[in-house]
Amino acid sequence: MSAEIIKIFLAFLVLINPFAALGYFVSATAQHSRQERRNTARITSLSVFIIICIAALAGDRLLGILGISIGSFRIAGGILVFLIALAMMNGNDNPAKPSADGIAPPETKNAFAVVPLAMPMIIGPGGISTVIIYSSQARNWYETGAILAAGFLITLICYFSLEAATKVSRLLGDTGMKIVNRVMGLLLAALAIEIILAGLKNLFPQLG
């Protein structure tokens, strides 16, 4: 159980990447008090966990309603994840997530905590797709629980990284953030290949 949680957690970490939104968070909360920043971090993190839960518990059923096979969804999701990985390794922003420069400042405090901060800046289409793919592989509630536990760990990292966003951004700097982004991009590319191969095996069992 613990090994499965760690495996899923690492996959979520490189794709959801709660550190990606630190710059925007620091800018958007520049005039907020420490307590207000903490409240925003709490709302954002809770929203991320709710999105993960919905994708894990209802995503597979939604695919069934739409008549989309899990094999097709895995291939599509894998391609999306691979494109994100390429952009990250090239030093570009995640193409599936908006950049901080393209988002207007929030009109009211906490107005941005759910949209765009939680979604799509922290958990975008690629992250949601990955959660659905992993949940489709769960054979029982025990394995579904592992997915939710991994999601909860991501939520904790999200909260603490946002709560300490100013210090983290200052510590890593632009160069440090770029290095982290490229390393995560490489790991993400490997994950994307695994997802695509799993999808091909679903559609063409003879490949297995």
More confident: 195 or 110 = 195
Give pLDDT, residue 53.
Answer: 96
Q: What is the mean pLDDT of residues 35-55?
A: 94
Burial class (CB in 10 A: 0-12, 13-18, 19+), 15: buried
Three-state helix/strand/coil letters over 140-170: CHHHHHHHHHHHHHHHHHHHHHHHCHHHHHH
Confidence category of residue 104, pLDDT binned at 50, 70, 90: very low
Determine the Cα–Cα distance for residues 194 and 181; give it in Å rounded to an integer.
20
More confident: 51 or 106 = 51
Q: Are 57 and 132 in contact (CB under 8 A)?
A: no
Average pLDDT, the chain: 82
Q: Is the peptide bond before 125 cis (omega within 30 degrees of 0)?
A: no
Instruction: Tell me how far apart the alpha carbons of residues 197 and 52 are, in angstroms, rounded to a whole number.
Output: 24
pTM, two decimals, is 0.76
Q: What's the confidence (pLDDT) of residue 95?
A: 47
Q: What confidence category does residue 208 fall into, taking pLDDT thresholds of 50, 70 and 90?
A: low
| Residue 115: predicted pLDDT | 83
Please, what's the b/e burial string for 68-83 (b: 16 or more CB within 10 A of its CB; e: otherwise)? eebbebbbebbebbbb
Mean pLDDT of 169-191: 78
Omega cis (within 30) before 120: yes
**109 confidence band (pLDDT: 50, 70, 90):** low
Mean of the pLDDT values across residues 104-126? 75
Q: Is the peptide bond before 98 cis (omega within 30 degrees of 0)?
A: no
Q: What is the pLDDT of residue 96?
A: 46
